[in-house]
Amino acid sequence: MFVATYPSPLGTIVMESDGEVLTALRFEEGQPGMQSGNSGNGTAPHSMPTQAIAVFNEAKRWLDEYFSGKRTENAVMGATTDGRISVRPKGTAFQQRVWQALLTIPYGKTVSYGDVARMVGCKSAQAVGQAVGANPIALLIPCHRVIAAHGKIGGYEYGIEIKKRLLELEQR
């Protein structure tokens, strides 16, 4: 596992890679508005310089463009040749289906947990909520775009303030 950081306008972002694709992206714990949660898999990071890992350079470029309002497409699970970042989150088959559905939510749009449940053929918005909350690759797999059925922002692994700011950024 390789680890790199990115200084975003919303706080430090920690990225993890297997050396080929991004396996995790999260806001660093201990920042204002943060909740404890996805803190990695406990594996010690590899000592290779992070600038040698191409996906980190791609992710940093993606994040620069995202935070400046120029990047609107999501990542893609698996290999890609169209310039999008390849991600490989670890999770159950159900979580993978939910995360794949999240990748279809357009930039600047929101959907409800129930909408996602219908997208994946699940009767339980609560089960979908748990899978959304377990997303290990924030922003690139846009779990922040999922809100409660009545339009309330709802929970977010990294705090409601960060979720609000991400949604506001995408509305500009």
Same domain, 75 and 98: no
The structure's pTM equals 0.84
Stretch 6-13: mean pLDDT: 96
Judge whether 117 and 147 are in contact, CB under 8 Å: no
Q: Which of 122, 172, 116, 114 is nearest to 142 (CA)?
A: 116
- How many domains would you assign to the chain? 2
The CATH number linked to 150 is 1.10.10.10
Question: In terms of domains, do 149 and 110 share one?
Answer: yes
**Do residues 62 and 128 both lie within one domain?**
no
Q: Is the dihedral of CA 172, 27, 61, 97 positive or negative?
A: negative
Mean pLDDT of 130-159: 92
Judge whether 143 counts as a catalytic residue: yes
**pLDDT tens digits for 74-104?**
777 765 656 667 788 999 999 999 999 999 9
- Give me the mean pLDDT over the 122-130 stretch: 94
Q: What is the CATH number of the domain that holds 69?
A: 3.30.160.70
Which residue range is the domain that position 71 belongs to?
2-86
Q: Which carries the bigger pLDDT value, residue 103 or residue 51?
A: 103
- pLDDT grade for 14, boundaries at 50, 70 and 90: very high
Active-site position among 105, 143, 162, 166? 143
